[in-house]
Structure 1
Amino acid sequence: MKLPDGPKGPKLFLTLQGVLWPLEFLEDCARRYGDPFTSRFASFPPFVVFSNPQAIQEIFTADPKLFDSGRSNTVFRPSLGDNSLILLDGDRHARQRRLLTPPFHGDRMRAYGQLICDAAEKVISDYSIGETVVARTAMQEISLRVILRAVFGLDEGPRLEQLRQLLSALLEGFNSPLKSLIVFVPALQQDLGAWSPWGQFLRRRQKIDQLIYAEIEQRRAEPDAAREDILSLMMAARDEAGQPMTDVELRDELMTLLIAGHETTASSLSWALYWVHAMPEVHDRLLQELETVGPEADPSAIARLPYLNAVCQETLRLYPVVLFTFLRIAKAPVKIMGHEFEPGTYLSPCIYLTHHRPDLYPEPNQFRPERFLERQFSPYEYLPFGGGNRRCIGMAFAQYEMKLVLATLLSRWQFSLVDHRPVRPLRRGATFTPQGGIPLVLQSDRPLNSLTVV
């Protein structure tokens, strides 16, 4: 069977294009080859890229047993481990997903409301009026505090502080497109000592593992049924056979939550702050809406604000943190939009290209939150968190955190952009973050409008 047409050339050259200039590469492929097209990268089999909502619907709603996905995510194995939900398939994936879902249930979200607002207040309060705040740095600190407190239920302590520093350093190792090549090219993953990039990564990972296993051991030695943090809920969870997660499974899932649970949200919040301050009409409308909930607001009331929701949705549409959903590997012959694919074919719904279809989103490169007030988009037209049985389990948590942090910052402080020039995404490992981090000047506070979650 012949795969759809796609870019030709040496795989290494195509990989460099995809890693260093991903948006331009995707847009050029879509223009030249249409939908779908086949892409070929080093260390990956050829994969077929889709952006048509009908094709994405057929993939997402197909019997999950038709596809594997976890075994295509090997680039995450060094960070997350073999037992991460992201790397599992079949019954093991279904089991882990059931065990991990309860902490992220909608009813649990309310318990995290004050925690999120407190973290935002604490981080920005450390800055002085007139000081420059790099949004990406501040948002990463806020989201890291949130996820560490939500996961471990601890606010302070040497173990938590060490984790915070080590996780930040681990991710900083992939903070540029060139450094990100090490993620996608296994040949570069060589331990040449403590000062080599991969050597640094391995040593930091080892220290993080030691801290996580020490925390798990302490929890097992000092059980407390009253605790409701995510780690405690994970340790208490049992599968259908009455079996808990092992220490190794707990470690791998904790790493998944700690890395995916703050890196992605921090980038999205940085983009949101950029757009809100680059467009005065968006800023003013959002402030007017926030004033309607009053200085003491229930988190659920904030989360329901329609324009705040639209701003967050448009932020995730325009520059999604990841460009693709997880790959699907056909386990049997499958037909997608009339195209027949043999077993072993890799299918890849593209979030970025779908979100930039002019037939769905007129003027797709413009930031227009109103488009989410004017119509509803299906899960196959708007998919920042993936879809089907592989949709991100932290979706509700991430959206909730994004809204509360944005509402807290805008209600409490005034900021202005240092530079009004357009900003483009920059690859950071497998994710994308705004180039330059979005420097903002902290102009003044708004003590009378401070938002308190009750």
Structure 2
Amino acid sequence: MQLSTFSVAAVVPLIIILYIAPRLRCPKNLRHLPRVPLSSTLISLVMGETEERRVHRLFLPTAQKYGAGLLARALMDTRSITKQRPREDMLFWQFTGLNTFILADGDIWRTQIQAVRRALQTNVPIGTFVSICHKLIGIIGDGGVVKWSDLSHRLTLDVVGQTVMGHDFQSLEQPHGSLVAHYHSVMSEITNPLYIAFPILESWLPRKRLTARVSNLRAEFQRIVDTKKERPGEDYVSFMLENPPSSESEYLDNVVTMFMTGHDTTAGALSTVVYYLAKYVHHQSRARAEVLSLLGENDDPSVQHFQEMKFMNACIRESMRLNGPSVATIPRLSASAIQLGPYTIPPNIPIVLNLYGVLHLGTTWDAPDSFLPERWLVQSEIDDAWMPFGTGLRRCPAMNFSLYEQRTVLTMLLRKYEWTLPPGSPHEDIIQNGLSTFALNLPKDLKIDFRLIK
């Protein structure tokens, strides 16, 4: 039986009494640490405040007062901490699986991450990026107002499908294809904020129909893996099958995880950089001049070209600093107390690094809320503070893959079009992200007015 609106409303008071109230008070062993009241954070979540607004209003003032930015790299470089294992009863983790390079630790993580890195770094598929970009340009055509946040997601789905899974989802041509539509439908229900905030609801009020749909969706991904076993190709899944990390279940879990992380985050990054270049057309013009000076009218971009595109790369770095798609790291634990600067963190306390906050600290960045790509044209200590993909050994292994995909798309758009925000855009003053249950900054309903360069 599906969960009704009435049953949700009826259970909320019970949740507050049994689940929330005892947790609002800060434990005694943590009261020595600077903190934002949990009640303020919960109110922000209930009111539907997006992550970046919550960080600016609640977290940054406290972080800057106590110099938290100095602790970020120390936290990521601390080898004694491990990832907190998520609750297995959450449908989200039932979909992704728990045997992935994102959640694993120790020897299992080392084995998996080596296989993932080899798969992603052996060959940067610029040719595939270019081919899919030509399809994108065909859809934009002679220009006009398009919903760029939607197009960028469809593009990155096709990239992930072809390069990671060896499967053409045809999202650009058929945005409502069966597997993609099934995925979006399931994810919209899985990420119900009430169930994410209170996983115990999966036991109290189980969603049996949704659980069955999650199983069916995993089965669709399993069929893709089985097909690659029979007909391997030049893709991530085929490589993993030839260089196994360990078990069969890990194949599927890592394929699902790569599918999810490989398109949402890069789509958000592409939406963001196109937005900032629409808002600051003088930067767009400078980036275009750089691209045209290195590429002919019909030449496809290459890795060598990208190495020379200093300003365009700076625009990507700055846009990811301002509105990086990943807001926070997965919670981590330490079996023993750890020292971060002047603060002692007791053992077995979940620790989350807020990447968005680190990238907006006024103690680290001049004009932290301004789009200043020029800051990246001079080597300085801020290079070490740029961590939209994390940092250290735990840095996202797909960083270069995502950056080359962004560079390819942006290069081909700059050569073909000029673009601005359409009149009356809700993003005119500041970029507007959608509400995300899983701490992602994804611009919402972003429309861009493209014009062919004559």
Which category describes the TM-score, using the shorter chain as reference length?
0.7 to 0.9
1:16 aligns with 2:32: no
1:236 to 237, 242, 246: 242
Aligned to 2:219: 210
Q: Does 1:265 align with 2:266?
A: yes
Question: Residue 152 of structure 1 corresponds to which residue in structure 2?
Answer: 165
Change (3 A) 1:103 1:321: same
After superposition, where does 1:150-299 map in structure 2 within 5 Å? 150-155=163-168, 161-173=177-189, 179-189=192-202, 190-192=205-207, 194=209, 199=210, 202-220=211-229, 222=230, 224=232, 227-238=233-244, 245-295=246-296, 296-299=299-302
Residue aligning to 2:306:
303
Q: CA contact under 8 A between 2:228 and 2:237: conserved in structure 1?
A: no
Sequence identity, in percent? 19
Contact 1:417/1:440, CA 8 A, preserved across alignment: yes
Partners of 1:19 and 1:181 within 8 A in 2: no
CA separation in 2, counterparts of 1:354 and 1:130?
37
Deviation per CA, 1:410-436: give whole Å up to 9, x if none.
212333321234323222231434554
Partners of 1:308 and 1:86 lie apart in 2 by 30
- Note if contact 1:70-1:89 (Cα within 8 Å) is conserved in structure 2: no
**Structure-2 change in CA distance of 1:32 and 1:371 (3 Å):** closer
- Give the 3-state SS of the residue equivalent to 2:371 in structure 1: coil
AA of the residue aligned to 1:162: S
- 2:19 is matched with none
- The more displaced of 382-391 and 295-304 is 295-304
How far apart, CA to CA, are the structure 1 residues paired with 2:334 and 2:435?
29
User: What one-letter code is carried by the residue in structure 1 that aligns with 2:34?
Assistant: D
1:97: which partner in 2? 113
Name the SS for the 1:356 alignment partner: coil
Gaps of 5+ in 2: 1-28
TM-score by length of structure 2 reads 0.81
Q: 1:407 to 1:18 in 2, by over 3 A?
A: farther
- Tell me: CA distance 1:143–1:400, structure 2 relative to 1, closer, same or farther (3 Å): same
- Paired positions, count: 411
Q: How does 1:37-436 map to 2 (within 5 A)?
A: 51-53=68-70, 55-62=71-78, 64=79, 66-71=80-85, 77-105=93-121, 107-109=122-124, 112-129=125-142, 131-155=144-168, 161-173=177-189, 179-189=192-202, 190-192=205-207, 194=209, 199=210, 202-220=211-229, 222=230, 224=232, 227-238=233-244, 245-295=246-296, 296-304=299-307, 305-377=309-381, 380-418=384-422, 419=425, 420-436=428-444
Amino acid in the other structure paired with 1:234: M
- Structure 2 CA distance, aligned partners of 1:237 and 1:16? 43
CA 1:165–1:118 in structure 2 vs 1: closer, same or farther (change >3 Å)? farther
What is the one-letter code of the residue matched to 2:97? G
Cα separation, partners in 2 of 1:410 and 1:9, compared to 1, 3 Å: closer
8 A contact 1:72–1:329 mirrored in 2: no
Counterpart CA distance in 2 for 1:157 and 1:436 is 23
2: CA distance, partners of 1:433 / 1:294:
32
| Higher fraction of strand | 1
CA contact (8 A) 2:272 2:443 kept: no
Instruction: Give the SS at the match of 1:85.
Output: coil
Cα pair distance change 1:285/1:245, threshold 3 Å: same
Residues 20 and 413 of structure 1, relative CA distance in 2, 3 Å threshold? same
The alpha-carbon distance between structure 1 residues 313 and 288, as it changes in their structure 2 partners (threshold 3 A), is: same
Question: Cα gap change, 1:385/1:247 in structure 2, threshold over 3 Å: closer, same or farther?
Answer: same
Q: Distance in 1 between matches of 2:144 and 2:187?
A: 25
Q: Cα 1:51–1:79, aligned 2, differ >3 Å: closer, same or farther?
A: farther
Q: Distance in 1 between matches of 2:246 and 2:93?
A: 19
- C-alpha displacement at 1:339, in angstroms? 1.5
- Maintained 8 Å contact 2:98/2:253: yes
Query: Displacement, 1:235?
Result: 0.6
3-state secondary structure, aligned to 2:318: helix
| C-alpha distance 391-70 of structure 1, shift in aligned 2 (>3 A) | farther
* CA 1:144–1:423: 2 relative to 1, 3 Å: same
Task: After TM superposition, give the deviation of residue 236 of structure 1 in Å.
Answer: 0.7
Contact 1:51 1:349 in 2 (8 A): no
State the distance in 2 between where 1:205 and 1:376 align: 47
Q: Which residue of structure 2 aligns with residue 27 of structure 1?
A: 56
CA distance in 2, matches of 1:104, 1:154: 16
Structure 2 equivalent of residue 46 of structure 1: none
1:171/1:265 CA distance change after superposition, 3 Å: farther
Contact 2:146 2:449 in 1 (8 A): yes
- Separation in structure 2 between the aligned mates of residue 345 and residue 193 of structure 1, nearest angstrom: 33
Summarize the Cα distance change of 1:299–1:51 in structure 2 as closer, same or farther, 3 Å threshold. farther
Specify the SS of the correspondent of 1:415: strand
Q: For 1:443, what is the secondary structure of its paired residue?
A: strand
| Deviation of 1:157 (Å) | 8.3
Contact 2:160 2:262 in 1 (8 A): yes
RMSD of aligned Cα (Å) = 3.0
1:160-204 Cα offsets, whole Å, 9 max, x none, are 9533333343445579xxx4444333245454465xxxx2xx454
Shift in Å at residue 33 of structure 1?
Answer: 3.5
Matched residue of 2:246: which SS?
coil
